[in-house]
Every structure is written in C-alpha cells, then in structure tokens.
C-alpha cells in the first residue's frame, strides 16, 4: 500500500477534534467582539456625538429710499479755453517771464521780442506823419489864397482845381501816415506777449535768443500753450437709445436737454470709489454721429484746486429717470450663481431661502435692488458663506446701518 510523505510525517487527526477546535475559535471571536463593544473596562457603550447647532447669521431688512436711476459714461476732461501762444510780429526772443507749468492770469506777460526795431519804425512813422501834416497845412493855405482870386479871374479855374486837388492829396497822406503810426504802435505792443486767458501754461517751445516768426500765416512759431482749468468741461458720448430716453424725460422738448444749470451730474476719477464731484450739463450736440450711433454730451465742473486736468479720464453719472422708491442692501449680502445674482432670505421657520434679484447702481455704499426683493424680507447681511439654501440658521436681527458701521466697506 502506497503512502505519501505527508502522511508519514504528520499523525492523523480525527473529525471530532476538528469540530471542537472550530467551536473554540468561534467562542473567542464572539468574546472579542463583545469586548470591543463594551470597552475593556466593561462600561456601557459611548453615545454618538451630538449634531452641531445651526450657524449664526446677521439679518436685516432692506433700506427703503428714494433714489434716482443713473446712467454711467466714461469720458475725458477738456479745457474751456485752449490757446496757442504765437507771436504777431517777427523778431528775436529777448526775454521769457514764466516758469514752465505754472498757473498764469489773464494779462500776465509771457514773452518779450526785441523791441528796438519796432521802436525805430514807430518814430519813423511819426516823422512821416509830421511831414504829411506840414504838406497839408501848406496846401490848405495855398487853396485859401486862391479862392478869392478865381472869382476875379486873377487865376484860372484849372489852377484853383489843382490847388484843391493838392489839399485833398495832402489830407489823404495825413490819414495814411496816421494809420502807419497806429500800425507801428501795435507792432511795438505785439513785442510783449501776454496771457489771453487764465490757466496753466505748458513748457516753452523756444529758448531765449531764437528768431521767432510771427504774423497771421500758418508758418508762425509756436511759443507755448495755455489750458484753462477752472471751470473745466467733461465730454462723453451717449448711445441713441439713452438720448431718446432723456429727450422724453424733458418736458419742454429738446431745449430742456441743453438747459444749463438744471441737469445735475456727478463724477468720479479712476482711482475713486464714489461719485463725489458735483457738476451740471451744459451742452448736448445737435447731431448723432453716423459712424458710431452716439451723440456727444458735455458737462462743466468747478476746479478751484486744479485737480482735474485736460485729457484726464473719468466716469460720469447722468440721471436716467425721475426719483423713485427702491430697496437697498449691502453688496456683501449679494451672492452669485453663474450669471444670476441672489440674496438669502430667512423665513418664519428660520430657514435660509434664496431669492434671485436684479441689481441697480451702487448708491452711498449700498446696492439698489430693482426686483426680486420685498421690504419685509429678512436678508442675510453677514455670514452668507456660513448659511446654505434650505438649511436652518440662527438669525440675529440688526439693521443695515449698524452692519455698515461695524464692518465698513472699502468705499466708505
């Protein structure tokens, strides 16, 4: 009879012994599971951790306020008066009386052209005038003597006519010399270039000692430029639809749009957060640009400190309708869901519910809500990130003003 090596190496085990060992293993497993559930010290099982309380949020009712819907446009400042300083007479520049970039007043002397040639020309014109007046006096006396002689036929009528003509020529020569004196005096005055308007002057374009070309042609020498600063204008363009809306708001027709002083506007610079500068509209163009479909508008602002500079960018607010009551909430209370805006409103069961809203402009640090919100809603104004739509919260009632004072926004 054949036997395997394993059979020869290990003794035989009966089936009863295997069954007993399996029972012992099962009993030990049950005992270990019981110890794991009760703890090694035999105490009762520990209770599951309690659920966290609802998150605490601050709620406030929207602020009801009369606001005016505003349109915003980007534009540039332009000077009311912009003047190029050019000489009216030619000559050598002998003096410069200003510092580059300074503010000048109307009438301040800016440049001086060498006056000596023009002074000589004026004296020569005056001498020519004196000679013409002497000739006139002689012709007048000669004519006076000839008047009684022509009646007695002592002199011929032709001689009398010649003397009459000589007096008329002398009178004309005197008038011409008087005009020459005035022109020479003007040229002498033109050697002193003065500021025609008040404003800020740029840098000098010509140094002292250079020959300046003057006159009224296009080849004259540019010496400097002056830009008026106070008041200053702001130009922008509005689309055709906005212009029609403004036109319909004007009760007295198109003239109401250009009614200076009665259409207030506000402005802010690029580094400012609020529209703090007050001005007024003073002009709307008479035609819409064919290429862009826009119309040019202009406002005027006081600028006593010279803050605004021609060419500077800014953003202007123009009233787009009459004042109306609106609801306002802090910007921090507004959430974004893809392209939609919403606020969380806490209902009577203290459950946060989303309401999708349509937003308007930012006024005094608060965002206008044009639709989707009611005056009695309790809006989550603090803790928006802790609350979740459809979950309970622990609301703490406050006011928008208190929230803004406690957590001032950057625009304040």
Q: Are 320 and 242 in contact (CB under 8 A)?
A: yes
Contact 328, 363 (CB under 8 A): yes
For 269: left if phi > 0, alpha if psi spans -120 to 50, otherwise beta; the answer is beta
pLDDT at 9 over 60: no
Task: Give the predicted TM-score (pTM) of the model.
Answer: 0.63
| Average pLDDT value for residue range 192-211 | 92
For 270, what's the count of Cα atoms within 13 Å in the CB-facing half-sphere?
A: 8
What is the separation of C-alpha 6 from the centre of its chain, rounded to a whole number of angstroms? 100
Q: Average pLDDT over the chain, rounded to whole?
A: 82
DSSP 313-340: EEEEEEE-S--EEEEEEEGGG-EEETTE
Cα 324 → chain centroid: 26
Length in residues, the chain: 412
Predicted local distance difference test score (pLDDT) of residue 179: 95
253: alpha, beta or left? (left if phi > 0; alpha if psi -120 to 50): left
Q: How far apart are CA 299 and CA 282, in angstroms?
A: 5
Q: Is the pLDDT of residue 223 over 90?
A: yes
Residue-wise pLDDT tens digits, 138-177: 988 888 888 888 777 777 888 888 888 999 999 999 999 9
Cα-based angle 269, 275, 277 (whole degrees, multiple of 5) = 75
Check whether 7 has a pLDDT greater than 50.
no
- Assess whether pLDDT exceeds 50 at residue 384: yes
Output the DSSP codes for 196-208: SS-EEE---SS-T
pLDDT of residue 258: 54
The SS3 assignment for 22 reads helix
The full DSSP string for 43-79 is PPPPPPPPPPPPPEEEEEPPEEEEE--EEEEEEEEEE
pLDDT at 218 over 80: no
Using pLDDT thresholds of 50, 70 and 90, give the confidence band for residue 131. Answer: very high
Angular region, 179: left φ>0, alpha ψ -120 to 50, beta rest = alpha
In tens, the pLDDT along 231-248 reads 999 999 998 888 888 887
| Alpha helices, DSSP H, located in 152-237 | 157-190
Three-class SS of residue 285?
coil
Model confidence band, residue 74 (pLDDT cutoffs 50, 70, 90): very high
- Per-residue model confidence (pLDDT) at position 23: 54
Residue linked to tokens 């500068």:
277
Q: Could you report the per-residue pLDDT of 262-281, keeping only the tens digit for each?
A: 688 899 998 888 888 999 98
Q: What is the pLDDT of residues 22-36, one digit of tens each?
A: 454 444 554 444 444
Q: Which of 46, 77, 6, 5 is nearest to 308 (CA)?
A: 77
Query: What is the model's pLDDT at position 112?
Result: 94
Decide if pLDDT at 314 tops 90: yes
pLDDT over 60 at 381, yes or no: yes
Report residue 20 as tokens.
């007993």
Distance set, CA 408 to CA 253, 271, 362, 384 (Å): 44, 19, 15, 17
Q: Which domains does the chain have, with CATH numbers?
A: 58-66+324-406 (2.40.420.20), 70-80+230-319 (2.40.30.170), 85-227 (2.40.50.100)
């Amino acid at each position: 009879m054949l036997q395997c090596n394993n059979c020869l190496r290990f003794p035989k085990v009966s089936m009863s012994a295997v069954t007993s060992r399996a029972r012992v293993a099962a009993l030990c497993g049950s005992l270990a599971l019981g110890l794991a559930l009760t703890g090694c010290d035999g105490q009762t099982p520990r209770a599951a951790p309690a659920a966290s309380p609802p998150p605490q949020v601050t709620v406030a009712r929207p602020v009801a306020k009369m606001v005016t819907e505003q349109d915003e446009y980007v534009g540039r400042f332009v000077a009311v008066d912009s003047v190029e300083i050019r000489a009216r007479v030619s000559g050598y520049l002998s003096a410069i009386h200003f510092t580059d970039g300074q503010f000048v007043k109307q009438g301040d002397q800016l440049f001086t052209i060498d006056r000596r040639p023009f002074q000589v020309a004026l004296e020569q014109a005056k001498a020519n005038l004196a000679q013409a007046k002497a000739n006139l006096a002689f012709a007048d006396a000669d004519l006076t003597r000839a008047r009684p002689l022509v009646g007695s036929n002592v002199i011929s009528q032709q001689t009398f006519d010649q003397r009459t003509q000589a007096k008329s020529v002398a009178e004309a020569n005197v008038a011409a010399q008087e005009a020459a004196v005035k022109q020479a005096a003007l040229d002498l005055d033109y050697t002193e270039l003065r500021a025609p308007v008040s404003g800020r002057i740029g840098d000098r374009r010509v140094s002292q000692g250079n020959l300046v070309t003057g006159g009224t042609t296009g080849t004259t020498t540019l010496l400097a430029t002056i830009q008026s600063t106070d008041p200053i204008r702001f130009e922008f363009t509005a689309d055709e639809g906005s212009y029609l809306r403004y036109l319909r708001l004007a009760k007295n027709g198109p003239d109401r749009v250009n009614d200076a002083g009665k259409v207030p506007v506000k402005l802010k610079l690029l580094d400012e957060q609020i529209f703090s500068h007050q001005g007024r509209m003073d002009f709307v163009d008479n035609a819409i640009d064919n290429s862009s479909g826009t119309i040019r508008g202009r406002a005027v602002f006081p600028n006593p400190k010279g803050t605004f500079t021609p060419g500077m960018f800014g953003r202007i607010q123009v009233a787009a309708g009459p004042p109306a009551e609106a609801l306002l909430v802090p910007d921090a209370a507004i959430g974004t869901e893809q392209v939609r805006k919403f606020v969380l409103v806490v209902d009577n069961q203290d459950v946060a519910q989303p309401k999708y809203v349509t937003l308007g402009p930012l006024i005094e640090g608060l965002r206008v809500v044009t639709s989707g919100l009611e005056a009695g809603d309790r809006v989550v104004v603090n803790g928006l990130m802790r609350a979740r739509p459809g979950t309970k919260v622990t609301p703490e009632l406050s006011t928008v003003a208190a929230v803004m004072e406690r957590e001032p926004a950057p625009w304040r």
